Structure 1
Amino acid sequence: MSIFQELTNRDRVFEFLAPAQSPVDVRHGPILYLEDVSVSFDGFKAINNLNLTIDDGELRCIIGPNGAGKTTMMDIITGKTRPDTGSVWFGSRHNLLTKSEPDIASLGVGRKFQKPTVFEALTVFENLELAMAADKRVLPTLTAQMKPEYRDRIDEVLALIGLKELRQAFAGILSHGQKQWLEIGMLLMQKPRLLLVDEPVAGMTEQEMERTAELLTSLAGKQSVVVVEHDMGFVRSIARTVTVLHQGSVLAEGSMDQVSSHPDVIKVYLGEEA
């Protein structure tokens, strides 16, 4: 596929986009609120009366065994899957169950999938520039004049994700970890209020994992960040609050020490008897 064909693929372009500003009211509550959410697929209850609250600026880690409902939960938040019952609110004003995927992204919900999605035939700088562009149609994006404030924003994000020295490198030559950071940077170009990150350190080296931990913890307070991860060492390095999912609902919640010593977590997550 040519780079032009790749850019004109609307699903690919809009997959990682979030808006420059988000009209989200958090004065009277959390930034994300799920209440009694359930969804079934062919008789299997993937999410079962799930209740979850994420505060504005919070870094939350979500863990759980395979099939616990982590991916389905993120699909519901981003509008990819509609639950059978329950409610999902973004701030106090936006009912996410009434909105489409593009509408949810435009409110300020960004999602980072496990496999990095970057434009390998473009430079690091160009990837960030494309993510930032106000008009997402291909020709205006490619012909738009770079404003000084846009360049400053790109420089700021390049420094944050640690790719400042690689700004003119093609994304295709980056390491796996660097591609992950670049995609996070592409999301950050749009200043999302909520960032959902799925298994960010899968396949990374130890050094890349440490850098990713630094990056995600630096975002807390500026954005709300929800990290789904299997690597318990990584979770321990960044976790403030950990939520354990099991069979589609919350099994335990608290600090890493609290949930790792919880009898039910030991039994169902670690596969040991309490």
Structure 2
Amino acid sequence: MNDMLKNREPFDIEGHADYGTSYARPKQEGVDTTHGAILYLEDITVSFDGFKALNKLTLDISVGELRCIIGPNGAGKTTMMDVITGKTRPTSGTAFFGQTMDLTTMAEYQIAHAGIGRKFQRPTVFEQHTVFENLELAMKMDKRVKPTLFFKLTSEQKGRIDDILKLVRLNGQEHRLAGLLSHGQKQWLEIGMLLMQEPQLLLLDEPVAGMSDAETARTAELLNELRGKHSIMVVEHDMAFVTEIARDGKVTVLHEGSVLAEGGMQQVQADERVIEVYLGR
């Protein structure tokens, strides 16, 4: 385990949340959300050889909000997430995490450390290690060489891992190799690994793609449990799943790199523009 930890990026160990016996919202330092928004994008444009993948995109996510993003292929959903996580620099526009962190000036690792976690459509877990070890590796802690050499889990840290195992429906699977999990279980494990890093904002790219109906239903339950404890952006094509998790929240529809429509699920589904370019009749 120590050899695995040596090669991980160092994390700030300040501001740990006390998960206790129930899952609590993590506390992050340095992110000013006094104005109510955790993420604010304004007039974001991304051009690739003259093609505008994003075209003056403007949206904001409130603290504790679960926002669903839908739209046809090529609408700019992935590029938007790339901008938020620092993978792609916008041609123009501003992107703020909280009130003070300008994401366009930060490196990917800085953005991750600041409290933004991203899960891609295809799960990426350490398949040759157990579920427990995967969560341990992902834990937010000091991973410089010296602390790592003498690292030993505390009872509190073990308790946090146990809490996450229960939350992501993997309690009882902690000693199983991650590579032996079902596709859906791997997706839950990766969400659990993100949660171990104590993010304020979770970006989930098609979290139920390839899942069975039962796994999809359990994932909806999981995200509904996370609602309010983290701000969550979900990009998804499964409209039944979106309807289940959108509840009374907002759904944003992207088309050609801009916001086409935004509102409650019923409002969006009834929008003639959305029907024309995405939902169909």
**Normalising by the residue count of structure 2, what TM-score does the alignment of the two structures yield?**
0.89
Counterpart selection for 1:93 from 75, 79, 100: 100
Instruction: Determine helix, strand or coil for the equivalent of 2:74.
Output: coil
Task: Give 1:54 deviation, angstroms.
Answer: 0.2
Q: Using the alignment, how far apart are the partners of 2:119 and 2:45 within structure 1?
A: 23
SS of residue paired to 2:161: helix
Q: CA deviation at 1:181?
A: 0.3
SS in 2 for 1:62: strand
Which of 173, 177, 195 is residue 170 of structure 1 equivalent to? 177
Q: 2:240 aligns with which of 230, 233, 243?
A: 233
Structure 1: how far apart are the matches of 2:123 and 2:103? 25
Q: 1:175 to 1:141 in 2, by over 3 A?
A: farther
Q: CA deviation at 1:143?
A: 5.4
Query: Does 2:216 align with 1:209?
Result: yes
Question: Closer, same or farther in 2 for the Cα pair 1:60/1:18, shift >3 Å?
Answer: farther
Residues 48 and 18 of structure 1: is their aligned pair in 2 closer, same or farther, counting only changes over 3 Å? farther
Alpha-carbon distance in 1 for matches of 2:126, 2:227: 27
Q: Are residue 125 (structure 1) and residue 118 (structure 2) matched?
A: no
User: In structure 2, how many angstroms separate the alpha carbons of the residues matched to 1:151 and 1:173?
Assistant: 23
Shift of 1:22: 4.0
SS at match of 1:128: helix
* Corresponding residue number in structure 2 for 1:81: 88
Deviation at 1:29, TM superposition (A): 3.4
C-alpha distance in structure 1 between counterparts of 2:65 and 2:97, whole Å = 14
Q: Distance in 2 between matches of 1:139 and 1:18?
A: 15
Q: CA deviation at 1:104?
A: 0.5
Moved over 4 A (4+): 7-10, 17-20, 137-143
Structure 1 residues 133, 245: CA separation in 2 closer, same or farther (over 3 Å shift)? closer
Q: 2:273 aligns with which of 261, 264, 269?
A: 264
RMSD of aligned Cα (Å):
2.2
Aligned pairs, number = 265
Pairing 1:249–2:258 present = yes
The answer on whether the counterparts of 2:37 and 2:63 sit within 8 Å (CA) in structure 1 is yes
Percent of paired sites with the same residue: 62
Q: Summarize the alignment of residues 40-79 of structure 1 with structure 2, pairs less than 5 Å apart.
A: 40-79=47-86
- CA deviation string 1:105-164 (max 9, x = no partner): 111000000000100111111100010051335785475111111101101101100111
**Whole-angstrom distance in 2 between the partners of 1:232 and 1:32:** 24
Shift of the 161–220 alpha-carbon distance from structure 1 to 2, 3 Å rule, reads same
**CA distance in 1 between partners of 2:75 and 2:142 (Å):** 38
On the 8 A contact 2:2/2:148 being kept in 1, the answer is: no
Q: 1:138 to 1:245 in 2, by over 3 A?
A: farther
Amino acid across the alignment from 2:265: M
Question: Mind listing any 5+ residue stretches in structure 1 that lack a counterpart?
Answer: none
Q: Is the 8 A contact 1:18 1:105 kept in 2?
A: no
